[in-house]
C-alpha cells in the first residue's frame, strides 16, 4: 500500500471534524465561535473594553484578533462616554450611533457579527450591513439569533447577546460597515465580535465530500493490496 496516502486523508478528516463540532459559548456573553474560526485565511476581531465613547475609532482588544486596524468601531453620538467597566454608554439625550468598519484582504463569503448590550436594546430592524458591489450600494438587514438574555436592572430593555450572519453572493466585496443604534436613551455597548470568511475558504460540506471521496479511494487502495 502507498503509505503517503494516509496523512492526506487524516488531514482532511481533521478539518471535517473541527467544522462539525458545535461551538462552545464564550464566557457570560454567550458568544460562540463560528465553524470557520481559526481556519487559515479567516479573520476575527473582538472588543470587550472600549477606549473612546465618541468619534474616535476603537481597535480590537481581545486576544486572538487578527484584523489589525482594518477593523474598528466608532460611536458618533456626542453624549456617548466610556464607563469604568470599559463599556460605551449613551445616556440622556442620545440613542447611540455605532459603525463597525472592516476592510478585508480577500473577497468575502460570510460574515458573523455578535453583540452584547445592556439596558436599552438595539433597533433591530435598523441594523444594516452596508457595502458596494458592482458599483452599486447595498444595504441589508438581518434577523438576529438570541444567545443570552437577562432583565436589565434599573433601565429599560434587557441585557442581551445577539448573533447575525450574512452570506455574500457577490464577487469581489472586500469592504463593508455595520451600522446600528438603540431604540432610545441608556444603551451600554458591552462586547462585540466579528468573524469574516473569505471566498477562498471552502464550506464544511466541501470538506465532508472531499473526505468521503478520499475514503472511497482509500478503501479501493486497501482492497488492491
Determine contact, residues 109/196, Cβ cutoff 8 Å.
no
Q: Which of 124-138, 152-166, 173-187, 202-216 shows the lowest per-residue confidence on average (mean pLDDT)? A: 202-216
How much of the chain, in percent, has pLDDT values that exceed 90?
A: 74
Q: Is residue 116 part of a domain?
A: yes
CATH classification at residue 88: 2.60.120
Q: Is residue 19 part of a domain?
A: no
Expressed as residue numbers, the domain containing 157 is: 24-203
The confidence score (pLDDT) of residue 1 equals 31
pLDDT in tens, 15-51: 333 333 233 334 458 999 999 999 999 999 999 999 9
The confidence score (pLDDT) of residue 221 equals 52
Q: Is residue 219 part of a domain?
A: no
pLDDT in tens, 87-105: 999 999 999 999 999 999 9
* Helix/strand/coil for 135: coil
The confidence score (pLDDT) of residue 154 equals 82
Model pTM?
Answer: 0.80
Q: Which of 81-85, 153-157, 175-179 shows the lowest per-residue confidence on average (mean pLDDT)? A: 153-157
pLDDT at 213 over 60: no
Higher pLDDT, 14 or 159: 159
pLDDT at 165 over 80: yes
Q: Is residue 18 part of a domain?
A: no
Q: Is residue 11 part of a domain?
A: no
The confidence score (pLDDT) of residue 14 equals 34
Q: Is residue 213 part of a domain?
A: no
CB within 8 A of 39, min separation 6: which ones? 15, 197, 201
Residue 113, CA distances (Å) to 102, 108, 116, 161 in order: 12, 14, 10, 11
Most confident residue range from 12-16, 152-156, 167-171 = 167-171
Q: Provide the mean pLDDT of the chain.
A: 84
Q: Is residue 7 part of a domain?
A: no
The confidence score (pLDDT) of residue 140 equals 98
CB within 8 A of 193, min separation 6: which ones? 31, 44, 45, 46, 47, 62, 112, 113, 114
- Number of domains, the chain: 1
User: What is the average per-residue pLDDT within 52-63?
Assistant: 97
d(CA 134, CA 173): 9
Q: Is residue 3 part of a domain?
A: no
pLDDT at 10 over 70: no
User: What is the average per-residue pLDDT within 169-191?
Assistant: 96
The confidence score (pLDDT) of residue 202 equals 83
* Helix/strand/coil for 160: strand
Amino acid at each position: 500500500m502507498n503509505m503517503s496516502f494516509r496523512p492526506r486523508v487524516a488531514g482532511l478528516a481533521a478539518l471535517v471534524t473541527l467544522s462539525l463540532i458545535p461551538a462552545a459559548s464564550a464566557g457570560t456573553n454567550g458568544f460562540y465561535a463560528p465553524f470557520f474560526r481559526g481556519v487559515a485565511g479567516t479573520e476575527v476581531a473582538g472588543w470587550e473594553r472600549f477606549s473612546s465613547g465618541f468619534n474616535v475609532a476603537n481597535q480590537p482588544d481581545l486576544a486572538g484578533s487578527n484584523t489589525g486596524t482594518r477593523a474598528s468601531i466608532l460611536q458618533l453620538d456626542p453624549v456617548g462616554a466610556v464607563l469604568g467597566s470599559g463599556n460605551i454608554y449613551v445616556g440622556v439625550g442620545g440613542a447611540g450611533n455605532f459603525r463597525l468598519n472592516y476592510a478585508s484582504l480577500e473577497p468575502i463569503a460570510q460574515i458573523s457579527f455578535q453583540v452584547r448590550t445592556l439596558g436599552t436594546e438595539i433597533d433591530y430592524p435598523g441594523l444594516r450591513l452596508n457595502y458596494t458591489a458592482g458599483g452599486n450600494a447595498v444595504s441589508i438587514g438581518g434577523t438576529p439569533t438570541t444567545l443570552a438574555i437577562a432583565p436589565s436592572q434599573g433601565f429599560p430593555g434587557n441585557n442581551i447577546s445577539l448573533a447575525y450572519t450574512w452570506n455574500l453572493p457577490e464577487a469581489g466585496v472586500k469592504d463593508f460597515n455595520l451600522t446600528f443604534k438603540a431604540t432610545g436613551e441608556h444603551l451600554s455597548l458591552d462586547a462585540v465580535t466579528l468573524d469574516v470568511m473569505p471566498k477562498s475558504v471552502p464550506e464544511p460540506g466541501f470538506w465532508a465530500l472531499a473526505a468521503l471521496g478520499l475514503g472511497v479511494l482509500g478503501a479501493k487502495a486497501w482492497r488492491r493490496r
